[in-house]
Amino acid sequence: MAERLFKEGIAAGRLSPEAYAENFGDLHPSLDHHEAVVESDRCYFCYDAPCMQACPTTIDIPLFIRQIGNGNPLGAAKTIFDQNILGGMCARVCPTETLCEEACVREAAEGKPVQIGRLQRYATDTAMAQDRQFYERAAPTGRKIAVVGAGPAGLACAHRLAMHGHDVTVFEARAKAGGLNEYGIAAYKTVDGFAQAEVDYVTAIGGIAIENGKALGRDFTLADLTGRYDAVFLGAGLAGVNALRAEGEDAEGADNAVDFIETLRQAADIAALPIGRRVVVIGGGMTAIDAAVQSKLLGAEEVTICYRRGREHMNASEYEQDLAAANGVSIRHWLQPKKVIAEDGKVAAIELEYTALRDGKLAGTGEMLRLDADQVFKAIGQSFDAAPLNGSGSQIVMESSKIKVDAEGRTSIAMVWAGGDCVAGGEDLTVTAVAQGRDAAESIQRALKG
């Protein structure tokens, strides 16, 4: 890590331009041809393919690895895209260490799985670099489908519907398509504008129109869509951010980690972004890790993640936790925030209480800890905002504050499907959202044909 320029409080320009460029370079650069062939040779091509069973999109992993080994990366890319049209992004951001690579037989035998994610990236990058399209639209059906949200679920659904010959209009509230892939992932995981390049690749099939700046509940209602379109797919993300429920959390310098990550992703000049000298992140998931690591990469001297339970309870994978530690982030467990201490209206410290499990329930111990901080990031989860669904005639049935769907993604309203983070029981993963969007599209196709 490059030497930091000592600056109190929240400040920009803590590092040299060279240091910023190095810190925010590609986390896992793409394999070259030789590396990919050598790595593919490590695959056992298991007959029962536990890696494939662990993939939410059920990509035929042994097949695409064999194709890479045989010098056919384009064939491998098609095998991947057949199941996951956003396979390029998933290769970059999927927690492969807890999915396909954890299930890899070499992981069990040697503790070193085949690098499935990097092989997938090699194949999909090859196809996208050559602008190689594998799919053509079927004959036009005259059917019109509305998709709400241009995130992973919405894009996967739109692409599959366009393949079947339907005309798809995607309504996206933000200025850019991509959803979480564009706004919510650490900058070092997806560089060089890849999210938008992938949107362009997906929509190149034709028949997909994206209307940006159009929000459900503000610019149109669900009843409008069901009246004008043959079917509707809801792929809205999580708009709400959970509060700390701690005294003083509205002080200047106590910010949402989601907003911080979005600002960083959209920044034209990373060096111009201010960051605290001492940063505390509250949470135990991927957002907390991304916020903490990027704080360190921006030049923060001390970054601490505080989580209310133990290491084994964190939603962030062991790999991500180790990544944070490798970047100098301190992770402290069994702590919950009680008070953000401000001086002159600005964050100066945070007071936390030690926790413990008592009869299986989390409880405070009464023992307190104070950490000096000039910036606190809240990363304790997001929530689905159901308000835009209101006033739309028939009400969608909800479950656990999200949209209830059946196994095919159908909601309680006829000809309305949903998928991604807005549905109950999801895993909040890009790859899961893609699978749900794809499967909902096939369900819509069956319903329209029937």
Q: What span, in angstroms and rounded, lies between the C-alpha atoms of 450 and 439?
A: 17
Architecture of domain 242-382: 3-Layer(bba) Sandwich (3.50)
Amino acid (one-letter) located at 443 = S
pLDDT at residue 403 above 50? yes
Q: What is the structure's pLDDT at 208? A: 98
33-129: CATH topology: Fumarate Reductase Iron-sulfur Protein; Chain B, domain 2 (1.10.1060)
3-state secondary structure of 30: coil
Q: What span, in angstroms and rounded, lies between the C-alpha atoms of 218 and 373?
A: 38
pLDDT, average across residues 116-125:
98
Q: Would you state the structure tokens that stand for residue 378, as one six-digit string?
A: 């809240």
Q: What is the structure's pLDDT at 428? A: 81
Q: What's the pLDDT tens digit per position in 323-373?
A: 999 999 999 999 999 999 999 999 999 999 999 999 989 999 999 999 999
**Structural contact between residues 292 and 188, judged by C-beta atoms closer than 8 angstroms:** no
Greater pLDDT, 82 or 1: 82
Q: What's the pLDDT tens digit per position in 414-430?
A: 999 999 999 998 778 99
Q: What's the pLDDT tens digit per position in 169-179?
A: 999 999 999 99
144-239+384-449: CATH topology: FAD/NAD(P)-binding domain (3.50.50)
Q: What is the structure's pLDDT at 394? A: 59
Q: What's the pLDDT tens digit per position in 137-154?
A: 999 999 999 999 999 999
The pairing of strands 208-212 and 167-172 is: parallel
**144, 257, 162: which is closest to 201 by C-alpha?**
162
pLDDT at residue 298 above 50? yes
pLDDT at residue 3 above 70? no
* Length in residues, the chain: 450
The domain limits of the chain are 33-129, 144-239+384-449, 242-382
Q: What span, in angstroms and rounded, lies between the C-alpha atoms of 348 and 8?
A: 11
Q: What span, in angstroms and rounded, lies between the C-alpha atoms of 58 and 435?
A: 9
- What is residue 3's DSSP assignment? P
- Which residue is associated with the tokens 């956003």? 86
Q: What span, in angstroms and rounded, lies between the C-alpha atoms of 302 and 253?
A: 15
Q: What is the structure's pLDDT at 4? A: 57
**197, 204, 209: which is closest to 172 by C-alpha?**
209
**47, 39, 30, 44: which is closest to 69 by C-alpha?**
39
Q: Would you state the structure tokens that stand for residue 68, as one six-digit string?
A: 């890479």
Quickly state the pLDDT bin for 6 (edges 50, 70, 90): low
Q: What span, in angstroms and rounded, lies between the C-alpha atoms of 186 and 285?
A: 13
Amino acid (one-letter) located at 170 = V
Q: Percent of the chain beyond pLDDT 70?
A: 98
Q: What span, in angstroms and rounded, lies between the C-alpha atoms of 259 and 241?
A: 10
The pairing of strands 382-383 and 240-241 is: antiparallel
Q: What is the structure's pLDDT at 106? A: 95
Q: What's the pLDDT tens digit per position in 14-69?
A: 999 999 999 999 988 889 999 999 999 999 999 999 999 999 999 999 999 999 99
Which helix (H) or strand (E) covers residue 196, if one does?
helix 194-203
Q: What is the structure's pLDDT at 1? A: 45
This prediction has a pTM of 0.94
Same fold yes or no, 144-239+384-449 and 242-382 = yes
Mean pLDDT, the chain, rounded, equals 94
Q: What is the structure's pLDDT at 427? A: 76
Q: What's the pLDDT tens digit per position in 210-246?
A: 999 999 999 999 999 999 999 999 999 888 788 888 9
pLDDT, average across residues 89-115:
95
Could you tell me which residues are beta bridge partners of residue 371? 350
